Amino acid sequence: MATPSEEMNTKLTWRRFEDGDSEWGSFTDKIFVADESYKCPTYIHKTPPCQGSCPSGEDIRGWLAVVRGQEKPASDMSMGEYAFRRSTDANPFPSMMGRVCPAPCQDGCNRNEVEDFVGINSVEQWIGDNALENNYQFIAGESSGKKIAIIGGGPAGMSGAYQLRRKGHAVTIFESQPELGGMMRYGIPNYRIPRDKLAGEIQRIIDMGDVEVKCGVRVGEDVTIEALEKDYDAILWAVGCWTGRGLFLDEWEGTPNCVSGVAFLKAFNEGRMKVTADKVVCVGGGDTSIDVVSVARRLGHIEHTNPTDRPELVVNDGFVAHDTAMTAAAQGAEVTLTSLFPKNNMTAAEHEVHDALHEGVTILGEVMPVGIEKDKDGRATALIVAKCTMDGGRPSPIEGTEQRLEADLIVAAIGQGGDLTGLETLDNGRGLIDSNKFYQVPDKEKHFVAGDIIRPHLLTTAIGQASIAADTIDEFLKQEEHKKRPKVDVHHFNLDKKLEEAGLSPEQFDAKAGDQRGTSDANYAVHNYEDRSYAEIIPHDELFLGHFEHTPRVKRREEVPSSEEVLGHFQERLIGLTQEQAAEESGRCMSCGMCFECDNCVIFCPQDAVFRVNKKQSTTGRYVDTDYDRCIGCHICSDVCPTGYIKMGLGE
């Protein structure tokens, strides 16, 4: 009799061993047999896959443990502030990233093997919003006397400024736009990134002191590279990619109502574009294209448009703006999004695609543009698309499947490029800047780079690159050799720092005290602990998944307007979790690669060899210990460890 699907979704059946198993499946397992092995448990820290999947390398497992109350703050610091400190060690924008990051961490989450990923983004949003409400501030390092020029005030530039100030270096930010924020301000709509919270997270970096800001200044035109090299000890290029790619069609160039997604969103976010066209067709499939079509649905169009009010003029001319009164006459716009891939394989976040459909956007998957129809004035009147197949990443049209999509405005959201006008000596020939693995510009002393200008990618990628670049700049200024970056290059949990924070640092080693081999009783080293986080990411098959009960995700509430309500709807869609909800959702984290104090090893050890560390000596990563006089190497503790923290080692 088949198991009902409802029961399959709520009752877990995962087992480590199947009925009839009586032999170990590998030679490695066979040598760890009870009464025949001297192997005993070793507590091994590995990187969880959420963190390994995060381009900015956040200690996600760590701050989830703090929010759920398992890891305690130092001294009298509140839980919220401690979680904020742990989160922002890698990323100074938790409120922003909690809202708009497509969350590759959640795709990597091992909890997907149980029922559903942990809502990492939603908890991060709570951490960021709570920090703004409580006015938590960053702390700058002791002044080094060095001064760095940062070119670009977007996520990479601001993150670089933050990390460099933590190291004590003064910074000057040169930003060509009127305000800081980069693509967070000019590329993402305000109903996804609330401008008051963006301003708060930017201001917190400026408030660290010794952060000079020069907006409306374009390096390469208003300031020369030579002047920067003379006045600053190092230069970090974080200029981003502000030019959008056009469609690869002959008719695209010179057609006035064919515009890029980057320019379209910039015109909207600057407040210049109040309405769009009657029929808008966007070519894309990624997050930028979703933003374009969602904005177009919200703006709508007006019935009688003067030639000077056409949206493409506002998009293409930074000085032209719509009258605010136009919004009162706005009517709904017919908006279509085309993608090379099926809806379920588009690169945009799944919930963003769902929201766009709910808002009345038509999405055509597995089609490619093959032509543009124009009228006698040279304006586009329709985009011609055809069904396509993908071969080696390249689309090929299927003959006879052409379709005409009427359009008053065609938007290309298929990628971005850099604009290095005046900075040609840095251009690698593709409108980008080359970088080595340390984010240093090859063969250019004092020059470093981070963000989209290396290769357009995610906001969190730019933030992670800036953090590594700040390390490299710091080593450069100190005239130190660049340290080899670890295989798993993230912001790791450090047990030594945790012990120091808890007042439990090991004693000083005395080399003259005689033979001190073995650390079972000695307190000059961390007993029975190995840190492999710099080299290994722990997979789900090293966990005891049977420990975890089916626990539905605590989801953020979304207020997504329907197709009838979307016109003029610019309220935020994501409603953040409460503190109680954030703690509950954090409790679903399986703490992969780190003990979360479940006591399974203590309870199931048949020899009472595994025991809890004395409370006065206990902290995260130091909760259990082993009495090797009792241990027989049965590895039951390893079998029942939910997090994969216990491995059989030591001995012969």
Return the CATH number at 99.
1.10.1060.10
For the segment 184-193, the average pLDDT, to the nearest whole number, is 96
pLDDT score of 648: 87
**Per the domain annotation, does 366 fall within a domain?**
yes
| pLDDT above 90: residue 551 | yes
Residues 334 and 431 in one domain: no
Name the domain count of the chain: 4
Residues 265 and 219 in one domain: no
For the segment 334-363, the average pLDDT, to the nearest whole number, is 94
| pLDDT above 60: residue 72 | yes
Residues 261 and 355 in one domain: yes
For the segment 151-176, the average pLDDT, to the nearest whole number, is 98
**Per the domain annotation, does 544 fall within a domain?**
no
Q: Which of these three, 382, 417, 452, is where a domain ends?
A: 417
Tokens 């470093």 sit at which residue? 448
pLDDT score of 397: 95
Residues 118 and 177 in one domain: no
pLDDT score of 37: 57
**Per the domain annotation, does 110 fall within a domain?**
yes
**Per the domain annotation, does 7 fall within a domain?**
no
pLDDT score of 30: 64
Q: Could you tell me which residue, 491 or 5, shows the higher pLDDT?
A: 491
Q: Which of these three, 402, 417, 432, is where a domain ends?
A: 417
CB proximity list for 391: less than 8 A, separation 6 or greater:
none
pLDDT score of 594: 96
Q: How far is CA 342 from CA 109, 293, 337, in A?
A: 24, 17, 12
Residue pair 620/494 in contact by the 8 Å Cβ criterion: no
| pLDDT above 80: residue 34 | no
| pLDDT above 70: residue 31 | no
Residues 411 and 422 in one domain: no
Residues 388 and 263 in one domain: yes
| pLDDT above 90: residue 117 | yes
For the chain, give the percent of residues with pLDDT over 70: 94
pLDDT score of 642: 97
Residues 442 and 502 in one domain: no
Residues 411 and 441 in one domain: no
Residue 331: phi and psi, rounded to 5, are -120, 165
Return the CATH number at 609.
3.30.70.20
CA distance 191 to 194: 6
Tokens 């539905």 sit at which residue? 552
Return the CATH number at 263.
3.50.50.60
**Where in 493-623 does DSSP place strands (E)?**
529-531, 557-558, 574-575, 610-612
What's the chain's Rg over C-alpha atoms? 28
- Quote the mean pLDDT of the chain: 91
pLDDT score of 641: 96
Measure CA of the first residue to CA of the last residue in the chain; give whole Å.
49
Residue pair 605/637 in contact by the 8 Å Cβ criterion: yes
CA distance 191 to 167: 35
Q: Give the pLDDT band (50/70/90) at residue 652.
A: very low
| pLDDT above 50: residue 415 | yes
Q: pTM of the entire structure?
A: 0.91
Residues 554 and 438 in one domain: no
104's tokens? 């590759």
DSSP symbol at 328: G
Residue 363: phi and psi, rounded to 5, are -115, 125
Residues 234 and 343 in one domain: no
**Per the domain annotation, does 339 fall within a domain?**
yes
Write out pLDDT tens, residues 368-414: 999 999 999 999 999 999 999 998 889 999 999 999 999 999 999 99
| pLDDT above 60: residue 182 | yes
Residues 509 and 522 in one domain: yes
Residue pair 161/150 in contact by the 8 Å Cβ criterion: yes
**Per the domain annotation, does 11 fall within a domain?**
no
Q: Which of these three, 370, 397, 417, is where a domain ends?
A: 417
Residues 398 and 291 in one domain: yes
HSE of 584, CA atoms in CB hemisphere, 13 A: 11
**Per the domain annotation, does 32 fall within a domain?**
yes
| pLDDT above 90: residue 255 | yes
Structural domain boundaries enclosing 620: 26-46+494-532+593-652
**Per the domain annotation, does 488 fall within a domain?**
no
| pLDDT above 50: residue 1 | no
CA distance 117 to 317: 44
CB proximity list for 50: less than 8 A, separation 6 or greater:
60, 61, 105, 106, 108, 109, 110, 118, 120, 592
